[in-house]
Structure 1
Amino acid sequence: MRSKRKCLALSMLVFALLFQTVPAGAQRSDATSKRAEGDMTKANAATRALYKLLDDEWEWTMRENPTFASNLGDRRYNDRWEDASLEAVGRRQQHRLDTVKRLQAIGRAKLSTADQLNYDLFKKDLDADIEQYKFKLYLLPINQRGGIQNVDELTELLRFQTVKDYDDWLARMKSLPAYMEQTIALMREGVREKMLWPKVVQQRVPAQIDKQLVARPEDSPFFKPFKEYPSDISAADRERLTQSAREAVAQSVIPAFRQLKEYFTKEYMPASFDAVGAWQWSNGAETYAFLARRYTTTGMTPEQIHAKGLSEVARIRAEMQKIMTQVGFKGTHKEFFKKLRTDDEFYYKKPEELLDAYRAISKKIDPHIVKVFKTMPRMPYGVTPIADKIAPDTTTAYYQQPSADGSRPGYYYVNLYKPETRPKWEMMALSLHEAVPGHHFQIALAM
C-alpha cells in the first residue's frame, strides 16, 4: 500500500491539516462547530467560497480514494477500492483542471492573510498534481515497496466492531478481481509506454505475491479479521461471516493473485529495465527534475541538489573526524566506518532485543519533549514491529499517522528483520525523526 498511494495520502493529509477539514468519520466538538459556524457567518463571500471549495474537495478526495478514507477513520467507503482504471485517471485530471478554475474565480485579495496562505498552498499542491499527470507515473502501480500485493495491510488500520465492518471487508475481497484487472491494465499500458521500474527493484515482488497464494483460505492475510470477533456479534453472524470469508478468499482473492503472479513473472518482469535510472523514461530528465522540486519543495535543480549533497558530505565527514578524535580512534575514515558496520558491540542479536531498545529510547525521549515543546499532541503513539512479510523489502522504519477520529494512535513502525544489520547508533536519530518529535508532532499536532 505504500508507494503511489502513500504519496497521495501524505499529500492529501497535508491538505487536510492545512485547511483544518475534518473527515465525516471524525467528530468535531460542539464548541468547535459553533465557533466555526460563527466564523463563517462573519466571513465574506470570498472566504465562504474558499471554505466551500475546500470542503467539496475533501469529500471528493474521500470518494475517489476509499482506502485513504478508511485510513483516516472515515468508514463511508469501506466496502470498495478506488477506481484504478485509465478512464478514472483521466477523469480525476479533468476534475483538477475544473477545480483550478473554481479556485481562480475566488477573489484572493479579499481573503484574510491566513486564508491567502491556505489558498496559495492549496493551489501549489493542485498545480503540482496537474503537472504530474503528464509524466504518467500512475503507470507504475507496483514495486517492492508497495502495491496491490500488499493491500491486506489495510486490515491493520480498520476497526472491526460491527457486522457491517466485516461485511464491508467481504465486499472489498469480492471486488478484488476487478481492482486487479485495473491494476494489470495500468501495468500493460506501462509496458507499452516504457514506464517501468528496473528489474533490481521488481525482483522482490514475486515473493510478496506468493504470500497471498495460500493453500487454505484461513491462512490468507485477508482472512485475519475473521479469526476473532467482538463479543456482541452473534454466533449466527459469526458463522455466516466466517464462511463467506472462506469463499471470498478461495473464489476471489487467491485467483486474483494467481492472475497477477502469472502476468508479473511472464510479461511484466521481463519487460522491466535492466539498467537503473529515470533517464530510460521518454521524458525522464523532466520527470526527475519535477520530482526533485516536488519532494524537496525547493526550486533547486537536480544538479544543484547534488552539489548541495556533496558539500553536506564534506561537512559531515569533518564532524566525523572530530568524533573519531573524541573516542580515541586511530585510523582512517574508511576503517572507522568499517568498525561501525561490523563490530558486534553496535548490534543486537535478537529481534525482540532490538524492539525493546527502540521502545526504551522512545521512553527516554518522551520526558524531554515537554521541556522543549509547549503544545503536545493529544494523540498517543506506539512503537510496533513492521510485519514480517514485508520487513525484508521495506525501510528501516516509518511512521503511520493516527486516524482522524481518534480511534487509532500513531505508530512508529520499526524493522526487526536481520537485527545484526541494524546498528544501535542510528536508533536515536531515527526515533527522533520518525516518532517524537518528528512525524508524530508534524501530523498528530495538526489533527
Structure 2
Amino acid sequence: MRTLALSLSCLLLLTACGGEPAPAATPVAAERTAADQAAVAAELNTLLADWHEAELEANPIMATALGDLRYNDQLPDFFSASFREQAEARERDFLGRVQRLDRDALAGQDRLSYDVFVSDRTLSLEGNRFPGWMLPVNQMNNYGSFFAQLGSGKSLQPFREVKHYDDFLARIAAFPAINQSAMANMREGMAQGVVQPRPVVEKSIPQFAAHVVKRAEDSVFWGPIASMPDDFPADERERLTAAYRAAIMGTVVPEYAAMRDFLRDHYLPAAREGVGMMHLPDGKDWYAYSVRTQTTTDLSPEEIHQFGLDEVARILAEMNAVREQVGFEGDLPAFFRHLQTDDRFYFKTPEEALQAYRDVQAKINPALPKLFDIFPKADYEVREVEAFRAESSAGASYMAGTPDGSRPGVFYLNTFNLRAQPNFLVETLSIHEASPGHHFQVSIQQELESLPAFRRFGGYTAYAEGWALYAESLGKEMGLFTDPYQWYGRLSDEQLRAMRLVVDTGLHYYGWSREQAIDYMLQNSSMAESDVVAEVERYIVMPGQALSYKIGQRVIRELRDEAEAELGEDFDVRAFHRQVLADGALPMGVLQTKVREWIASEKAARAG
C-alpha cells in the first residue's frame, strides 16, 4: 500500500470553538465574513491542486500510476542529492504558503485538509534527518524489480500505442543514472555505517541477477515486443523491435549486472550482522519516528509489544477452540503440524489457487450490500505474482487501478511456494486484499472527486491496513467462515498481524535477532517456514510498517463498539462504514474525532 502516515491526535478541531457568543453582525459584515471564508477556502484548494501537480511533475511514476500520461517518458534520478534537495525545498515552500492562510476562516473538509496537509509536510521534513537515501535497495522495495514490472507490459506502464513504446524507451535511457546514484548512495552508507543487514543483501542480489540475460527475448523487458498490438504499422514494428533489442542488451542488462556485481562483491562484505534499526546510527530515534508515522498514534514500542503479546495469547486460545471443534486429538502444536503437512489443505497447481480466489470474489460481491451502502465503481482482477519477484514477495498484495477504471485493481497472489498458500486462507485473504478490504477502500477513495488530490491519492498505513484487517472480521456477517477451517484461516491471518507487533518491536527496539524472530513466529502459528522467513525479512527492511495493521484495526473496532453502545437499536452498520470510508484515508486520531462527532450528531438527531 502507499504509506505516508502522521500523528494528528489532538490536532484537529472540526467544529467551531466554544466561548462567549459574538456580538450580532450586520448583514454586510456577515456577507463580508462569508466572502472572506470562501476566498481562503478557494486559495487553499488552489494551493493543494498546485501541490499535486508539482508532485506529479517530480514523480512521473505516480502520474503513470494514476493514468496521467503527460510525463510517461520521464524518469528522474530519485536517488540523487539534487532530487532530495528539490523535494525538501518544495516541502518547505508549500508549508510556508499554507501556513500563511487564515486557518480560522476554514471549516469542515477545508479545515481537515489544511491540518492534514500541514502535518504531512511537517512530519516529512522531520524525517529528512534520517538517511534513508543510503538504503535504496532491499528485497521488498527494490527499484530494479519495480522497473522490470513497468517494462514487462503487464503493470502500470501502458503499451497500447507506438508513443507508449517510445515513452518507455526514454525511461530505459534514464535508468543508468538511477542505478549509478543508488550505488553511490550505498557507498556513502558503507562509509557512514548505514547499511542493510546481510540476509537482506543476499535476497536482493538474485533480483538483479534475474535480469542479466544473454538474449533480449529472454528478458522480462521483451514482453511489450512479444505482445505488440497487431495494428502497429510494419515499419514501426520493425523499428521498435530493433530499438528494444538494443536497449535491453545495451542498457538494461549491463546496468542490472553492475548492481548485481556491486551487491555481491562490495556491499555484501560490508553488510551488518545486527538486523534491527537499533544497530544503525541514531537507530532508536529513527525507529520511534517510523512507529509514529506508520501507526499515526503516540503509542510507545513498549506498549505495542505488550499489546502484541496479549493478542497472540488470545488468538491462540481461539485457535485451540477450532482444534477442539474439528475433533483433532493432538495438542495445538500438533494441530499446527497437521495443517502444515496434510495435502488436503494445499493447492496442487497455481491455476487451482488462482481459480479459488476468483470463485470467492464471485461469492463475496453479492454479499457486500448487507454491510455497505457505498461502493467502488472499479473492479479488480486476480493475478499471479511475476516469477522474477515471487521468491521474496509477500504472499499476497494489492495494486490499485486507475481512478477512471481504465485499469482495474489487481489482487496479486504469490504462487512461488504453494505450501505457503494454504486453502483455508482463501476467504480471509480475499477479503483483506480485495473486497471489502484494500481494493474496496482504495478505489472508493480514488473516486472521491470532491477531495483534494493529495487526499484522494495519498494514504496512511494504519488506516488502510487497519481497515483491511477490520474488514476480515466482517466475514461471518457476510455469510463466510461457515467452514471451521476457513475460520481458522481468519484467526491465522489475525495471528500473523498480532505476532508482527511483537516481532517488529522485538527486532528494532529490543534487539532480537532474525533467528529469534523466526522461532517466535513458528512457535505461535501454523505458517510455513518459508513464509515466516519472508515475513521477518520484510519487517527488517520496513520498520514499523507491520505495526499498522493491528493498531489501525483496534481503533476502527473500538469506534464501532462505541457507536453500537451509544446508538443501541438505532445503530446502522452501513452508516458506520460510510463514515469510516467516505472521506478517504485519515490518521487514526482524526478518524476518531470524525466518527465520535457523527455518533454525537446521530444521538442528538434522535433526541430531537
Question: Could you say whether these structures have the same fold, taking a TM-score greater than 0.5 normalized by the shorter chain as the test?
Answer: yes
How far does residue 42 in structure 1 lie from its aligned partner after superposition?
A: 9.8
Counterpart in 2 of 1:130?
Answer: 125
TM-score when scaled to structure 1? 0.88
Does the alignment pair 1:70 with 2:69?
no
Could you report, residue by residue, the CA deviation over 1:267-318 in whole angstroms, capped at 9, with x for unpaired residues?
1121111221111110111111111111112110111111110111122122
Counterpart in 1 of 2:197?
Answer: 198
Conserved 8 A contact 1:395-1:415: yes
Counterpart in 1 of 2:142?
Answer: 147
Conserved 8 A contact 2:160-2:229: yes
Residues 364-383 of structure 1 mapped to structure 2, 5 A cutoff: 364-383=363-382
Conserved 8 A contact 2:202-2:268: yes
Residues 266 and 418 from structure 1, CA distance in 2 versus in 1: closer, same or farther, beyond 3 angstroms? same
Task: Name which of 94, 102, 126 aligns with 1:99.
Answer: 94
Return the alpha-carbon distance in structure 1 between the equivalents of residues 167 and 327 of structure 2: 61
Return the alpha-carbon distance in structure 2 between the equivalents of residues 359 and 74 of structure 1: 29
Return the alpha-carbon distance in structure 2 between the equivalents of residues 266 and 106 of structure 1: 53
Residues 217 and 334 from structure 1, CA distance in 2 versus in 1: closer, same or farther, beyond 3 angstroms? same
Does the alignment pair 1:336 with 2:332?
no
Counterpart in 2 of 1:269?
Answer: 268
| Secondary structure class of the residue paired with 2:4 | helix
Return the alpha-carbon distance in structure 1 between the equivalents of residues 105 and 66 of structure 2: 33
Residues 42 and 379 from structure 1, CA distance in 2 versus in 1: closer, same or farther, beyond 3 angstroms? farther
Return the alpha-carbon distance in structure 2 between the equivalents of residues 354 and 322 of structure 1: 27
Does the alignment pair 1:11 with 2:4?
yes
Equivalent residue letter for 2:272:
F
Q: Gaps (5+ residues) in structure 2?
A: 6-34, 447-608
Does the alignment pair 1:116 with 2:111?
yes
Equivalent residue letter for 1:83:
D
Does the alignment pair 1:83 with 2:80?
no
How far does residue 182 in structure 1 lie from its aligned partner after superposition?
A: 1.5
How far does residue 345 in structure 1 lie from its aligned partner after superposition?
A: 1.9
How far does residue 87 in structure 1 lie from its aligned partner after superposition?
A: 2.1
Return the alpha-carbon distance in structure 2 between the equivalents of residues 90 and 332 of structure 1: 58
Structure 1, 378-387 or 421-430: larger mean CA deviation: 421-430
Equivalent residue letter for 1:327:
V
Return the alpha-carbon distance in structure 2 between the equivalents of residues 64 and 329 of structure 1: 58
Could you report, residue by residue, the CA deviation over 1:319-352 in whole angstroms, capped at 9, with x for unpaired residues?
2232222222333222222222222221112222
Percentage identity across aligned positions?
37
Structure 1, 426-435 or 189-198: larger mean CA deviation: 189-198
Conserved 8 A contact 1:203-1:269: yes
Q: Gaps (5+ residues) in structure 1?
A: 1-5, 13-40
Could you report, residue by residue, the CA deviation over 1:412-437 in whole angstroms, capped at 9, with x for unpaired residues?
00011121232122221111111000
Could you report, residue by residue, the CA deviation over 1:385-409 in whole angstroms, capped at 9, with x for unpaired residues?
1111111111000000011342200
Return the alpha-carbon distance in structure 2 between the equivalents of residues 88 and 143 of structure 1: 20
Equivalent residue letter for 1:192:
A
Conserved 8 A contact 2:133-2:185: yes
| Secondary structure class of the residue paired with 2:214 | coil
| Secondary structure class of the residue paired with 2:275 | coil
Equivalent residue letter for 1:11:
L
Equivalent residue letter for 1:80:
Q
Counterpart in 1 of 2:235?
Answer: 236
| Secondary structure class of the residue paired with 1:393 | coil
Does the alignment pair 1:390 with 2:389?
yes
Counterpart in 2 of 1:45?
Answer: 39
| Secondary structure class of the residue paired with 1:384 | strand
Conserved 8 A contact 2:195-2:272: yes
How far does residue 212 in structure 1 lie from its aligned partner after superposition?
A: 0.9
Equivalent residue letter for 2:143:
I
Return the alpha-carbon distance in structure 1 between the equivalents of residues 77 and 219 of structure 2: 24
Could you report, residue by residue, the CA deviation over 1:328-380 in whole angstroms, capped at 9, with x for unpaired residues?
23332222222222222211122221111121122221111122211211011
Return the alpha-carbon distance in structure 2 between the equivalents of residues 315 and 42 of structure 1: 55
Equivalent residue letter for 1:445:
I
| Secondary structure class of the residue paired with 1:382 | strand
| Secondary structure class of the residue paired with 1:321 | helix
| Secondary structure class of the residue paired with 1:133 | helix
Counterpart in 2 of 1:286?
Answer: 285
| Secondary structure class of the residue paired with 2:382 | strand
Return the alpha-carbon distance in structure 2 between the equivalents of residues 148 and 324 of structure 1: 43
How far does residue 128 in structure 1 lie from its aligned partner after superposition?
A: 2.1
Return the alpha-carbon distance in structure 1 between the equivalents of residues 252 and 323 of structure 2: 55
Conserved 8 A contact 1:173-1:222: no
Equivalent residue letter for 1:96:
E
Return the alpha-carbon distance in structure 2 between the equivalents of residues 105 and 146 of structure 1: 37
Structure 1, 42-51 or 289-298: larger mean CA deviation: 42-51
Return the alpha-carbon distance in structure 2 between the equivalents of residues 371 and 126 of structure 1: 39
Counterpart in 2 of 1:180?
Answer: 179
Return the alpha-carbon distance in structure 2 between the equivalents of residues 329 and 252 of structure 1: 58
Counterpart in 1 of 2:601?
Answer: none
Conserved 8 A contact 1:398-1:412: yes
Equivalent residue letter for 2:167:
D
| Secondary structure class of the residue paired with 1:11 | coil
Counterpart in 2 of 1:248?
Answer: 247
Return the alpha-carbon distance in structure 1 between the equivalents of residues 362 and 312 of structure 2: 31
How far does residue 10 in structure 1 lie from its aligned partner after superposition?
A: 4.1
Conserved 8 A contact 2:158-2:164: yes
| Secondary structure class of the residue paired with 2:387 | coil
| Secondary structure class of the residue paired with 1:325 | helix
Counterpart in 1 of 2:509?
Answer: none
Equivalent residue letter for 1:242:
T
Conserved 8 A contact 1:108-1:116: yes
Conserved 8 A contact 1:80-1:172: yes
Structure 1, 219-228 or 59-68: larger mean CA deviation: 219-228
Equivalent residue letter for 1:328:
G
Return the alpha-carbon distance in structure 1 between the equivalents of residues 292 and 426 of structure 2: 29
| Secondary structure class of the residue paired with 1:413 | strand
TM-score when scaled to structure 2? 0.65
Conserved 8 A contact 1:197-1:273: yes
Return the alpha-carbon distance in structure 2 between the equivalents of residues 251 and 405 of structure 1: 37
Whichever of the two has the greater Rg, that structure is 2
Residues 427 and 124 from structure 1, CA distance in 2 versus in 1: closer, same or farther, beyond 3 angstroms? farther
Return the alpha-carbon distance in structure 2 between the equivalents of residues 429 and 100 of structure 1: 41
Return the alpha-carbon distance in structure 1 between the equivalents of residues 37 and 230 of structure 2: 49
Conserved 8 A contact 1:386-1:416: yes
Does the alignment pair 1:219 with 2:218?
yes
How far does residue 256 in structure 1 lie from its aligned partner after superposition?
A: 1.2
Could you report, residue by residue, the CA deviation over 1:18-39 in whole angstroms, capped at 9, with x for unpaired residues?
xxxxxxxxxxxxxxxxxxxxxx
Conserved 8 A contact 2:37-2:105: no
Residues 382-421 of structure 1 mapped to structure 2, 5 A cutoff: 382-421=381-420
| Secondary structure class of the residue paired with 2:211 | coil
Q: Which runs of 4+ in 1 moved over 4 A?
A: none
Equivalent residue letter for 1:353:
E
Counterpart in 2 of 1:161?
Answer: 160
Return the alpha-carbon distance in structure 2 between the equivalents of residues 224 and 325 of structure 1: 51
Return the alpha-carbon distance in structure 1 between the equivalents of residues 357 and 242 of structure 2: 40
| Secondary structure class of the residue paired with 2:231 | coil
Q: How many residues align?
A: 413
